[in-house]
Structure 1
Amino acid sequence: MSIEMDNLQSADGKNLSSSTNNDQNNESYKLSENQQHKSENVIERKNYESFGLDVLIDEAKNLINKFPVYQIKSNIEQIKDIFYQKLENEENEKRDKFLSEDGDPLHFKYENPYKTKFLEVFNDYKNQLNIYHKENEKTEKANLEERLAIIEELKSLYQNHSESNTDMFKSFRDLKSRWHNAGRIPAANSENVFKNYFFHLDNFYKYLDLNKELQILDYTHNLEVRYSIIKRAEELVNEENVQKALNELQYLHRLWKEEAVPVVEEKREETWHKFKELTNKIHDRKALLNEQLKKEQADNYSNKIAIIDRINELTTSTVGKSHSEWQKAIKEIDSLRNKFLSVGRVPKDKNNKTWDAFKEATKQFNQVKNEFYKVLKTEQQVNLKKKQELLQIAKEHSTSTDWNNSVKVIKKVQNDWKLIGHVPRKNSDKIWKEFKDTCNMFFDRYKNRGNEFNEQFENNFNLKVELLNEFRGLELPTDKNEGLALLADYNNKWSEIGKVPSNKTDIHQEFSKAYSEKLKSLKLSQNEIKDFKLQGFIDTIVANKDNRSLDDEIRKTKKIIEELEKEINQLDNNIHFFANADQNNPLLKDVYRQLEEKKIKLAESEIKLKTLFGVQF
């Protein structure tokens, strides 16, 4: 007789071939608890696009530690693609910001510590995969030898039937069990080996037709296997994890084909239809799951297309717009990029196309944006040249005595200055300060152009010369506080004398130099010196009600605070590059030293600014 085969399908709806194998154990021919859960582990579907770089690394580690390495290839590859895309996006953002701040493209550098960490994890995965393939090759060769030995023993079993029926039946069941557990063999040998096995298996069943006792034993055993398979299939119908149920159903199909045929005629259709009915129920659950996933992916596709369309719309609408409008568009693009990456999967046939469209849309936006800022940078250089020309004109008239003409020129260059647009940020503060100081110097001279003022200034100068000579010969008391009080008194006297002619302002530097030398002789700490000088400055501007000097000092202090905060942030970032370095590393120590010094200066500057804001006239 030929081997009885029910027309079963596998869990994925495909006909099972005779070469199917599985490395499950079935010594008792009943589904043990171990067999029921031996099917492939189900890897949870996750939205990797929404993960940060650090979370993607942790997820890759978790997959490597939790699942067999051959099962996680698609997940690891997906994580790798998303990781490097996020890395590229971040690099583009950093570059754009660097260029928008007038940075030289040749000096742009980008380093991310997460890249090294990910490479370590990915290399670990590749090493494990390589080890798996080598071990699998050895295992398949051993499995081939085992299967060839089983075929020889099966052939000998019915050709040299020297055993009793009971022993022969036991040997036959043992051979089938060994075959079932033998595992995969090299693909090149698979077809011939399995054909050979089933050929001799069919011959053995023909032999059984001639031996009714053996046939009855086989029928009884196979029916028990069918009932155990049906019982487990009934449990799988209610299995919460549909994918797990489908994986195990695949194994049950294999077991049915290899261990549950033939059976007595009257039970064949009954058991077959029962198992088929349960199979269909599990497949129906898969169909519902697929429909749900299909709808989710269709919605995700629509959302991603809407995002791409919005990016394209922004690219078109921002052409010819201002810098502020471009900044708004850049922020929205960043938000859209994050939103796109957080949206879940799309249908497989649309995945690459959607991703390519997204990359192309963002690429086009960046190209248009870069072109805008390239032009803007050129315009700013032109504006800088125009302001430099106005500054030169102002300088030429700053010392002029042709008051009627020069005052008109200075006022005109001031108005022209306002009409000129932005200049590169790195030049902005410097050229504005120089222009403002030049104009202020002229108008100070203009206001004091009368003879009475000039005479007063000359008189002030003579008084300051006398005071300076007196101050230079001064012997300070040994008591620190008395010395500081005397210095403060001389500083107040100096400020009370008033202004001197503009061509004789060098005397202020001479007094300041002598003042600093006297102050040093008191052997004060740096902080004491700073506090004393600040108080002296405040006393001076309060005495003179000098709002302009106060405003200038506040502006300079703010600028210092801003620069210190940037430097501290940069040093904090630098520390991350020493994550695995020894604490005694000279470079690391130097970074910490610089960081501490900057923080102290920042604290001092913030206290100074608070003090300046509290000044009242």
Structure 2
Amino acid sequence: MSELDNLQKADGKEEIKKSNSDQDIAANPESIDLKEDAPTTDTLIADHSDKPISKITASEEKTTEAEHPTENETEAPKGDASIAEGQENQPQKNEDDDLINEIDESNAEDAEDEGNKDRHKIEVKEYDKMSLEALANELEKLVKSEKIQAIKKHVDTINAEFKTKFNALIEEKKEDFLNDGGNEIDFFYSSPVQSRFKTAYKEYRNKIHDHYKNLENNFKQNLADKLEIIEELKGLINVEENINTTYKHFKELQERWRKTGPIPRDKYNNAWNSYHHHVEIFYDFLHLNRDLRDLDFKHNLEKKLLIIERAEELAKDDDIMRAFRELQELHKMWKEELGPVGKEHRETIWARFKNATKIINDKRQVYYQHIDKIHENNLEKKLQIIAAIEAINNEKIVSHSLWQKKIKEIEALREAFFNAGKVPIKVNEETWSKFKTAVRIFNKHKNAFYKNLKKEQYDNLQKKLELIKIAEDNKDNEDKEATTALMKKIQNDWKKIGHVPRKDSDKIWKQFKAACNHYFDNMHASKNAANKVVLDAFNKKYELLDSLKTLKISDDKDKNLATITDIIAQWNSFGRVPNDKRYIEGKFNKILDELFSSTKVDKNEIELIKFENKLEDLNSEDNTRNLDNERSFIRKKIDELKGQINQLENNLQFFTNVKEDNPLVKEVHNNIKEHKNNLDLWKTKLSKIKELY
């Protein structure tokens, strides 16, 4: 039966019965007792004089053979003995065996991964703390600069983190989109960083696919090569040739086996067991030459002692993870590269090696316990952060300023959450889900507030647009008094209206401000022009007033009246004076009184002349309110005089049987006459005002 047939049967887990000798070999692979009467030759010794290694490290004599079997996995092909190499004299499985199995299984994985030498050299960064941009950069860097088979765990972690964070971003963008009035079916969001990440990840997938496709082809060829080596091993014991030549051929086959690359994992156990079984048979065949066997035992012992010494050094290393990784390499060398040692040394060296292994593993367990404690502390921190976010969610936030404050608090809590470090794997998803839920609730409340706020802001926008229309419609109005009051009112109304959407705020403010400024600039320009005119009027009136101090009045009544009338007309022609200089009008009226007193003009006539002068001044102010006030005052005086006249006439009725020349009666008649003259004067004034209307 061929070795390939044996492998196929073993793959089907066919139960194989072993001979007693085979079982002995499987239980104790170094128990083969070669006969002592074997001849020795110098040639044989010379052919096997390998130089002993001076120092064993994790990188020396390491092969890329596929995974080796654990104690429970060992199953030999039919007719072959199973050799559990490295498990010398260990009849019962215990805690130490579990550790050895763990190391063996890890080495089995590494054997099929040609990039394992580089895998541990790539820095494992805190991907959970990275931004989307940083994650994309890291993925691009790994795919471009590292061996594709060495970055799988890194890429998987980066991909998971990117998906989680990008999905959270999409959820926020979607909520904002819906709150702005969008339809869910229309929502779409993408970003340049997402495109970059997808491109880099696609490149990784293509490279890893090509890598494993090549590996698969290599594995098949390597399997065929190793099966061929096993067949050649079988044939060594049937070859009739010099033992030296046969042994040299055996060593060449061993070297070819070590140099042959990995084979399919599901074929490895049986191939490895079959190979070592036939190696042991060959050693049994060498019973004719005990010196050769002892030399091999010595050579293997020297190398295994160096391995033990290196393991004991690693037991003192403070970098426990590095020490454990190198320990795995030492176990692989012990099991796959070295043969048996003398029976008297087997238990001793294996015990030493296991003891060093246990020390390193104990330190590793302490390290893991420390890491677990750190992860538990990180979990506590993250749960406190989640509780803080939930507490904010329960607050009643009713103003924009308060929401802005809470948004900053949430951002700080988010940052603290991402910086808190890793948590135990078993609660990682649950913790992340709680965090996302808490943040999502906050965003939901925030978006609901700003959705209502946007409606209010839209209403405010409409109100302000109405004020803008009023301002623009009246910016060129010539009715300064009414328009100025209107402009001041709409400016106050603008201040009372709340916020508008930010995108419209600057635009409408500039539009409103431009309309108001246009009006007030025109008004100020008109005032400045008017101020110059009234100031000129004041200067002219001041000069005229100064000249009147030297005016001479003649005895000619008509001439004096004409002179005074001309002076009044000239005074009125100058126009209005500034409000703060209207005192000059009082001075002018005082001089007029002095001029009139020096003439023989009728008192009422003088009053009318002065009144006409006053009307000229009132009418020149372009303010009907002053004329209205004057008209109301005259009507009031007329009513008062009428009342006084009626009262005096009623009083005369009480004087019965009293002569007309009675002094008291004469005084009443004189008062009535004077009041009627005044009444006529005020009526004349009223008629003159009506003429102006």
Could you say which residue in structure 2 is the equivalent of 1:343? 420
Superposed displacement of residue 260, structure 1: 3.9
Q: Quote the Cα distance in structure 1 between the aligned partners of 2:106 and 2:532.
A: 118
Identity %: 38
Of residues 345-354 and 39-48 in structure 1, the stretch that sits farther from structure 2 once superposed is 39-48
Instruction: Give the whole-Å Cα distance in 1 for the aligned partners of 2:189 and 2:318.
Output: 47
Residue 131 of structure 1 aligns to which amino acid in structure 2?
D
Equivalence for 2:159: 80
- SS of residue paired to 2:231: helix
1:183-222 to 2 correspondence within 5 Å? 183-204=261-282, 206-207=284-285, 212=290, 215-222=293-300
Note the C-alpha offset of 1:326. 1.2
> Any stretches of 5+ residues in structure 2 without a counterpart?
1-20, 31-86, 91-95, 537-693
Question: 1:9 Cα shift?
Answer: 4.8
Q: Decide whether the 8 Å contact of 1:39 with 1:251 is kept in 2.
A: no
Q: CA deviation at 1:268?
A: 1.1
Instruction: List per-residue Cα deviations over 1:375-415 (Å, max 9, x = no partner).
Output: 111111222334445666778898697979x9988777665
Is residue 151–residue 200 contact of structure 1 (8 Å, CA) maintained in 2?
yes
Equivalent position to 2:342, from 254, 257, 264: 264
What residue ranges of structure 1 are gaps of 5+ in the alignment?
A: 25-36, 460-617
SS of the aligned residue for 1:423 comes to coil
CA distance in 1, matches of 2:533, 2:189: 61
Q: How far apart in 1 are the matches of 2:156 and 2:98?
A: 28
Going from structure 1 to structure 2, the CA distance change for 1:446 and 1:268 (only over 3 Å counts) comes to: closer
Matched-pair contact (CA < 8 Å) for 1:23–1:182: no
What secondary structure is seen at the aligned counterpart in 2 of 1:309? Answer: helix
Whole-angstrom CA distance in 1 between matches of 2:354 and 2:170? 56
Which residue matches 1:43?
122
Query: SS at the partner of 2:102?
Result: coil
Partner of 1:14: 102
8 Å contact from structure 2 (residues 175, 444) kept in 1: no
1:126 aligns with: 205
C-alpha separation between the residues in 2 aligned to 1:265 and 1:226? Answer: 14
Give the equivalent residue in structure 2 for 1:182.
260
Distance in 1 separating the partners of 2:122 and 2:153:
11
The one-letter code of the counterpart of 1:252 is L
2:332 paired with 1:332: no
| 1:147 matched residue in structure 2 | 226
- C-alpha distance after superposition, 1:307-355 (max 9, x if no partner): 22222222332x4421111112222222332333333222222222222
The aligned counterpart of 1:236 is 314
Aligned positions of 1:107-122 closer than 5 A? 113-122=192-201
> What is the distance in 2 between the residues matched to 1:426 and 1:235?
70
Structure 1 residues 40 and 230: alpha-carbon distance in aligned structure 2, compared to 1, 3 A threshold: farther
Aligned to 2:235: 156
The structural deviation recorded for 1:298 is 2.0
User: For residues 472 and 146 of structure 2, what CA distance do their matches in structure 1 show?
Assistant: 76
What's the offset of the Cα at 1:230? 1.5
| Alignment-mate amino acid for residue 254 of structure 1 | K
> Are residues 22 and 421 of structure 1, via their aligned partners in 2, closer, same or farther at CA, if it must alter by over 3 Å?
closer
Counterpart of 1:140, as a letter, is F
The residue number in structure 1 matching 2:366 is 288
- Partners of 2:311 and 2:327 within 8 A in 1: yes
SS of the equivalent of 1:346 reads coil
Q: For the residues of structure 2 that align with 1:157 and 1:416, how far apart are their CA atoms? A: 109
> Which segment is superposed worse, 272-281 or 394-403?
394-403
Q: For 2:354, give the aligned amino acid.
A: K
Provide the C-alpha distance between the structure 1 equivalents of 2:479 and 2:117, rounded to a whole number of angstroms: 101
Q: In the TM superposition, what is the alpha-carbon distance from 1:224 to its structure 2 partner?
A: 2.5
Pair 381,169 (structure 1): closer, same or farther in 2 beyond 3 Å: same
For 1:180 and 1:315, the matched residues in 2 are separated by: 65
Partner Cα separation in structure 2 for residue 316 and residue 19 of structure 1: 53
Code of the aligned partner of 1:143:
N
Return the alpha-carbon distance in structure 1 between the equivalents of residues 152 and 252 of structure 2. Answer: 36
The one of 400, 405, 414 equivalent to 1:323 is 400
Retained in 1: the 8 A contact 2:124–2:154?
Answer: no
Code of the residue aligned with 1:128 in structure 2: it is K
Q: Which residue of the partner structure matches residue 255 of structure 1?
A: 333
One-letter identity of the residue aligned with 1:383 = N
Determine if contact 2:103/2:331 at 8 Å carries over to the other structure: no
Residue identity opposite 2:220 in structure 1: K
Cα offset, 1:73, TM superposition: 0.9
Question: Larger deviation: 203-212 or 274-283?
Answer: 203-212
Instruction: Give the 3-state SS of the residue equivalent to 1:14 in structure 2.
Output: helix
Following superposition, the deviation at residue 431 of structure 1 comes to 4.5
**Structure 2 residue aligned with 1:226:** 304
How far apart, CA to CA, are the structure 2 residues paired with 1:10 and 1:448?
A: 100
Q: Secondary structure at the match of 2:220?
A: helix
Q: Are residues 387 and 258 of structure 1, via their aligned partners in 2, closer, same or farther at CA, if it must alter by over 3 Å? A: closer
- Other structure's SS at 1:380 match: helix
Which deviates the most, 52-61 or 418-427?
A: 52-61
- How far did 1:137 drift? 1.3
Aligned partner of 1:579 in structure 2 is none
Q: How far is 1:366 from its partner? A: 1.9
**Separation in structure 2 between the aligned mates of residue 164 and residue 18 of structure 1, nearest angstrom:** 42
Are the structure 2 counterparts of residues 137 and 167 from structure 1 closer, same or farther at C-alpha, using a change threshold of 3 Å?
A: same
> Is the 2:172–2:443 Cα contact (8 Å) retained in structure 1?
no
Instruction: Give RMSD over aligned pairs.
Output: 4.7
Distance 1:346 1:99 in 2: 34
Q: 1:157 to 1:240 in 2, by over 3 A?
A: farther
What is the CA distance between 1:271 and its match in structure 2?
0.7
Alpha-carbon contact 1:394-1:435 (below 8 Å) kept: yes
- Partner Cα separation in structure 2 for residue 440 and residue 51 of structure 1: 52
Report the CA distance between 1:278 and its aligned residue. 1.4
Q: Say if 1:193 and 1:456 are closer, same or farther in 2 by CA, change over 3 A.
A: same
Give the conservation status (yes or no) of the 8 Å contact 1:383–1:423: yes
Q: Displacement, 1:372? A: 1.4
